[in-house]
Amino acid sequence: MLALGKLLELTLAGREPTEKIQLTAGGVRLHWLAEGALEVTPAADADNGLDLLLSAGIHGNETAPIELLDRLLQGIARGELKPRARILFLLGNPEAMRRGERYVENDINRLFNGRHGDASGPEALRANELEHLAAAFFARAGRQRLHYDLHTAIRGSKIEQFALYPYSEGRTHSRQELARLRAAGIEAVLLQSKPGITFSAYTYARLGAEAFTLELGKARPFGQNAVVNLDRLEAGLRSLVEAREQSPGDDLEGLQVFAVAREVIKHSDHFRLNLPDDIENFSELPLGSLLAEDSGGRRWTVEESGARIIFPNPKVKNGLRAGILIVPAAF
């Protein structure tokens, strides 16, 4: 197998490859761009016009998606997987991956769309670099642009595999893209209603890509992901890479759709989230219950019928989101 197919191994070892460009026997070009960044270009007569960005490891302890991308890239390097799309593989936070931690100083996935300019440290520099790498990759005109940013969650979830679909003024969400995700095993989608600061929000709003954050189960260390079943997603990605997928159409039957009702923002060290520490994502919340409280008399009471909570985390830094209230939505 070509050495560049071992991107994960190189990244975890903190090594830069001697050869930056290699070709497979089938004429597929592998190009190492930066730490944790590798571009795959199909043979000239095989290119189908899709630019596909696959990112994982934005949080260094979310290893199942990293292992999935590693399998795909090794398949390409061995000549077993024959891409017809251009692909950019990005391992988002190499230092956090090496430490087995979510992040080093700052959560990278809160530093996009200009936020890295207001921060310092390694994550701010890396967020800036990731933006530049994505922008350069998606710079070619007249091509389809698609970005999947793969994650696993801090906690368990009543709906294990779900997508977050960013918002950008003037754009509409695509039924066809949602149908593609449904066919790949995604059970639910959360439609965002305002601009975000995540990696997928950046590529969606600034680069014109169809982009999604995919949550794929609970975070576990490398080698302990047997219980995270990504078979359907992996099969879908392989079909997408090789342009073998059947048209997904616009059938969303079985896909649960939610919309953001409110975000709960932590303002001070006095913030209190009135939920059990082990509460799962998508847990339903009793109408009228006191969800959270903070200094200055701030209170969040559940006013929405059918409300659920996702990403509850009272330990975030002040000024950041400590949870999202969501409600069922039609699409």
Give the CATH number, domain containing residue 280. Answer: 2.40.50.630
Least confident of 86-90, 164-168, 250-254: 250-254
Instruction: For residue 254, tell me if it sits in a domain.
Output: no
Domain end (from 183, 207, 241)? 241
Range of the domain at 275: 266-328
Binning pLDDT at 50, 70 and 90, where does residue 155 land? confident
CATH number at residue 124: 3.40.630.10
| Residue type at 140 in one-letter notation | R
The count of other CB atoms within 10 Å of the CB of residue 113 is 19
Q: How far apart are CA 180 and CA 184, in angstroms?
A: 6
Instruction: For residue 257, tell me if it sits in a domain.
Output: no
Would you state the pLDDT for residue 225? 77
| Of 249 and 58, the one with more pLDDT | 58
Query: 279-314, pLDDT tens digit by residue?
Result: 999 999 999 999 999 999 999 999 999 999 999 999
- When divided into structural domains, the chain yields a total of 2
Q: Per the annotation, does 242 bind a ligand?
A: no
**Do residues 119 and 183 share a domain?**
yes
Instruction: For residue 210, tell me if it sits in a domain.
Output: yes
Beta-strand pair 50-56/144-153: parallel
**Do residues 273 and 180 share a domain?**
no
Q: Which helix (H) or strand (E) holds 37?
A: strand 37-41
**Do residues 127 and 225 share a domain?**
yes
Q: How far apart are CA 77 and CA 165, in angstroms?
A: 31
- Residues 308, 313, 315, CA angle at the centre, nearest 5°? 160
Instruction: For residue 187, tell me if it sits in a domain.
Output: yes
Percent of the chain with pLDDT over 70: 100
Would you state the pLDDT for residue 51? 98
Ordered strands of the 272-273 beta sheet: 272-273, 290-294, 298-301
Please say whether the beta carbons of 41 and 57 come within 8 A.
no
Q: Which helix (H) or strand (E) holds 95?
A: helix 94-99
Query: 91-132, pLDDT tens digit by residue?
Result: 999 999 999 999 999 999 999 998 897 788 999 999 999 999
Instruction: For residue 255, tell me if it sits in a domain.
Output: no
Would you state the pLDDT for residue 9? 97
Q: Per the annotation, does 59 bind a ligand?
A: yes
Q: How far apart are CA 233 and CA 2, in angstroms?
A: 25
Q: How far apart are CA 331 and CA 329, in angstroms?
A: 7
Would you state the pLDDT for residue 59? 97
Would you state the pLDDT for residue 279? 94
**Do residues 185 and 312 share a domain?**
no
The whole-chain average pLDDT of the chain stands at 94
Least confident of 50-59, 140-149, 159-168, 212-221: 212-221
Mean predicted confidence (pLDDT) in 175-188:
95
Query: 206-265, pLDDT tens digit by residue?
Result: 999 999 999 998 888 787 777 678 999 999 999 999 999 877 778 898 999 999 999 999
Would you state the pLDDT for residue 228? 79
Would you state the pLDDT for residue 13? 97
Q: How far apart are CA 163 and CA 211, in angstroms?
A: 10
Instruction: For residue 248, tell me if it sits in a domain.
Output: no
Instruction: For residue 181, tell me if it sits in a domain.
Output: yes
Would you state the pLDDT for residue 95? 97
What is the DSSP code string of 98-164?
HHTSS-SSS-GGGSTTTGGGG--SHHHHHHHHHHHHHHHHTTSTT-EEEEEEEEEESS-BSS-EEEE
**Do residues 273 and 196 share a domain?**
no
**Do residues 22 and 106 share a domain?**
yes
**Do residues 219 and 309 share a domain?**
no
**Do residues 137 and 284 share a domain?**
no
Instruction: For residue 258, tell me if it sits in a domain.
Output: no
**Do residues 234 and 308 share a domain?**
no
| Residues catalogued as catalytic | 215
**Do residues 166 and 103 share a domain?**
yes
**Do residues 270 and 167 share a domain?**
no
**Do residues 76 and 150 share a domain?**
yes
